[in-house]
C-alpha cells in the first residue's frame, strides 16, 4: 500500500476502514491464485519514473488500444512449440477441415523445419513468437534474456518467411513467469502477448491420450471469443489424433475459426508472484524501455516504408493503397530501419494518443482522440465529418443501410447490407467487397487515406506537430 495513503488518514475511522481494505486485499492475494492486477491504460506519454514505481508494485501499465470484438462466436486454435515432424499432419487436418489456426513457433524449431513454417504461412495460418528455445531458466531470469530470444526468433522468421510477428506467447504462459515489467516492455515494443482461455491439457504430462484431451476441451469454458492452447511439438501425436474431434466440437457449437491478429483482444493471466527472483534497477528499466521503443519505431518505420513502396508500385488503388502511419514524433527513424533489416509488421490496432487534424483546401477537420481511430494501420474517420469538411454531402439510406457520399463527380456508396462499397466515378462503377468501413452508434467510419484516394485527393504530407497529428491534403493531385 502506498505510504501516502497512511499520511492522509488522520482519523481513527479512516485507519479502521483502511485496515479493513488492507485485510481484504491481503485476503484476495492469499486466496485467489490468479489475481487480475489493477490496471490502467496510459494515454499520451506517462512519466517514466512513475511507471517504474507502478511496475515495481506489480501493477500493469499498458498503452491505450482498441480491439475488435468478433461478429460471431470465434475460436482461435493455437499450436505451441513447433514446428516439428507432426506439424505437417496438423496442417493437413486444418486444410481438410478448412480451418485456420495460429502457430506459436520456437526459433530453434523454425531452423530445423523451415519448410513447414513456409507451408503454414502459405496456407493462411498466423505465426506467433514462442521464444527461441523454451528454456524457462533462461527466459525468466530477467527480461533481457527473454527479449534476446524473442529478437533472435524474429530474425529467423524474417529470414524464413519474411514475417516479424507481433504476437507472442510466453512459454508456460505468463502466470508465475511474467512480471509487470515483462508485459510493459513487450507492449511498448509493439507486441501482443496471448495466454489462453482453454488449455487442452495436452502437455500436462507425457502422452496424455487423445480421449483425455478431447474431454478437457469439451469442458470449456465456452465464451464468444476463445483461445485454445494445444501443442504441435515433438511427442504430441495424441494432439494430432484429437484435433479432428476438437474441430468438430467447435463447429457443432457454432464457432467460426480465425487466426490471432493484433486486433484480437489478448487473454492475459494476472501478474502472479514470479517463480524466479530477478534483479531490477531503474537504470536497467530505462535501458530496456529505450530498447523496446526503438523496436517499435523500427517496426513502424519499416511498415511505413513498405507502404510507401506499395504506393509506388500501384499508384491508383484503393483498398491496398498505403495508409497513413502513426509516426514517431521527433525521432529519426531512418537509422533505426537500417538496424532492423527487412522488417514486416502485422498491423497494430490502437487509438492514437494525439488529436488528428486534416488540413483541406478551405477548411480543416480536427478530430479529438475519441472521434477517430487508428486501426489496422489506418486512420478511421467519421465519413460525415470528412465529406462535410470537403464540401461534399452525405445521405444515410436507412432501409438499405447505405451511406451515400457525393463529392464533385464522385459518388461513394457504403452498403452495410451487401458489405460492399460502390465507387461511381465518371460513369463507371467499381465494387469493392468487404471494404474497410464500420458502423458504430450511427457513425460510419472509413479509412482516411483510402477514402481520399477514391475521391482523387492525395495526401501531401503528414506528421506530428505540436502534439497534433497533421495531415495535409493536396487537392486533385492525381486526376
C-beta contacts of 283-291 below 8 A and 24+ residues apart: 285/52, 285/55, 285/181, 286/48, 288/143, 288/144, 288/147, 288/181, 288/185, 289/48, 289/184, 289/185, 289/188, 291/147, 291/185, 291/189
Q: Among 468, 190, 450, which residue's Cα sits nearest to residue 324?
A: 450
The DSSP call for residue 264 is S
Helix (H) or strand (E) holding 110: helix 107-112
Closer by beta carbon to Zn ion, 171 or else 272: 171
Q: Taking the complex as a whole, how short is the minimal distance between the CB of residue 173 and Zn ion, in angstroms?
A: 9
Q: Taking the complex as a whole, how short is the minimal distance between the CB of residue 326 and Zn ion, in angstroms?
A: 32
Catalytic residue among 134, 194, 231, 348: 231
Q: Taking the complex as a whole, how short is the minimal distance between the CB of residue 230 and Zn ion, in angstroms?
A: 10
Q: Taking the complex as a whole, how short is the minimal distance between the CB of residue 171 and Zn ion, in angstroms?
A: 4
Instruction: Tell me the pairing of strands 74-80 and 225-231.
Output: parallel
Closer by beta carbon to Zn ion, 172 or else 284: 172
Closer by beta carbon to Zn ion, 260 or else 473: 260
- Binding residues (CB under 5 A) for Zn ion: these are 80-81, 171
- Cβ neighbors of 398 (< 8 A, separation 6 or more) are none
Q: Taking the complex as a whole, how short is the minimal distance between the CB of residue 197 and Zn ion, in angstroms?
A: 16
Q: Among 249, 168, 181, 189, which residue's Cα sits nearest to residue 216?
A: 249
Catalytic residue among 80, 81, 179, 195: 80
- CB neighbourhood size of 95 (10 A): 14
Residue nearest Zn ion (C-beta atom) = 80
Closer by beta carbon to Zn ion, 81 or else 232: 81
**Cα gap 192→291, rounded to integer Å:** 17
Closer by beta carbon to Zn ion, 171 or else 450: 171
CB 397 within 8 A of CB 382: no
Q: Taking the complex as a whole, how short is the minimal distance between the CB of residue 130 and Zn ion, in angstroms?
A: 6
The Cα-based distances of 100 to 143, 199, 345 in angstroms read 32, 18, 20
Alpha helix ranges (H) inside 277-417: 282-313, 334-340, 383-390
Helix count (H) and strand count (E) of the chain?
15, 23
Closer by beta carbon to Zn ion, 137 or else 254: 137
231 catalytic residue (yes or no): yes
Is residue 280 helix, strand or coil?
A: coil
Catalytic residues: 80, 231
Amino acid at each position: 500500500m502506498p505510504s501516502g495513503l497512511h499520511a492522509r488518514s488522520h482519523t481513527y475511522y479512516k485507519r479502521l476502514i483502511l485496515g479493513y481494505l488492507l485485510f481484504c486485499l491481503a485476503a484476495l492475494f492469499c486466496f485467489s491464485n490468479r489475481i487480475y492486477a489493477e490496471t490502467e491504460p496510459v494515454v499520451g506519454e506517462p512519466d517514466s519514473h512513475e511507471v517504474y514505481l507502478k511496475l515495481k508494485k506489480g501493477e500493469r501499465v499498458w498503452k491505450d488500444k482498441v480491439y475488435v470484438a468478433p461478429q460471431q462466436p470465434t475460436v482461435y486454435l493455437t499450436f505451441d512449440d513447433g514446428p516439428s515432424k507432426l506439424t505437417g499432419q496438423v496442417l493437413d487436418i486444418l486444410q481438410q477441415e478448412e480451418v485456420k489456426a495460429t502457430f506459436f513457433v520456437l526459433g530453434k524449431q523454425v531452423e530445423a523445419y523451415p519448410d513447414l513454417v513456409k507451408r503454414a504461412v502459405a496456407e493462411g495460418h498466423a505465426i506467433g513468437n514462442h521464444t527461441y528455445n523454451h528454456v524457462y531458466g533462461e527466459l525468466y531470469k530477467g527480461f533481457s534474456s527473454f527479449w534476446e530470444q524473442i529478437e533472435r526468433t524474429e530474425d529467423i522468421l524474417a529470414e524464413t518467411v519474411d514475417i516479424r510477428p507481433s504476437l507472442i506467447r510466453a512459454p508456460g504462459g505468463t502466470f508465475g513467469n511474467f512480471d509487470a515489467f515483462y508485459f510493459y516492455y513487450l507492449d511498448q515494443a509493439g507486441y501482443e502477448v496471448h495466454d489462453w482461455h482453454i488449455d487442452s491439457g495436452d502437455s500436462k504430462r507425457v502422452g496424455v491420450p487423445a480421449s483425455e484431451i478431447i474431454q478437457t476441451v469439451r469442458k470449456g469454458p465456452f465464451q464468444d471469443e476463445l483461445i485454445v492452447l494445444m501443442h504441435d511439438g515433438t511427442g504430441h501425436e495424441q494432439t494430432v489424433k484429437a484435433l479432428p474431434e476438437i474441430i468438430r466440437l467447435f463447429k457443432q457449437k457454432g464457432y467460426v475459426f480465425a487466426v490471432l491478429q493484433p486486433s484480437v483482444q489478448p487473454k492475459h493471466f494476472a501478474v502472479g508472484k514470479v517463480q524466479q527472483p530477478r534483479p531490477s534497477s531503474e537504470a536497467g528499466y530505462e535501458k530496456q524501455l529505450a530498447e523496446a521503443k526503438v523496436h517499435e519505431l523500427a517496426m513502424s518505420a519499416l511498415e511505413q516504408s513498405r507502404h510507401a513502396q506499395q504506393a509506388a508500385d500501384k499508384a491508383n488503388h484503393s483498398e491496398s493503397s498505403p495508409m497513413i502511419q502513426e509516426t514517431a514524433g521527433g525521432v529519426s527513424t531512418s537509422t533505426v530501419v537500417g538496424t532492423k533489416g527487412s522488417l514486416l509488421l502485422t498491423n497494430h490496432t490502437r487509438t492514437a494518443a494525439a488529436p488528428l487534424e486534416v488540413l483541406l483546401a478551405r477548411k480543416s477537420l480536427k478530430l479529438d482522440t475519441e472521434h477517430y481511430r487508428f486501426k489496422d494501420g489506418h486512420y478511421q474517420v467519421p465519413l460525415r465529418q470528412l465529406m462535410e469538411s470537403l464540401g461534399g454531402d452525405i445521405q444515410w439510406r436507412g432501409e438499405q443501410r447505405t451511406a451515400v457520399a457525393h463529392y464533385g463527380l464522385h459518388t461513394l456508396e457504403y452498403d452495410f447490407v451487401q458489405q460492399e462499397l460502390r465507387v461511381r466515378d465518371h460513369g463507371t462503377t467499381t465494387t469493392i467487397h468487404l471494404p474497410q468501413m464500420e458502423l458504430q452508434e450511427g457513425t460510419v467510419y472509413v479509412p482516411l487515406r483510402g477514402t481520399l484516394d477514391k475521391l482523387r485527393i492525395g495526401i501531401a504530407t503528414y506528421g506530428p506537430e505540436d502534439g497534433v497529428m497533421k495531415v495535409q491534403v493536396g487537392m486533385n493531385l492525381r486526376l
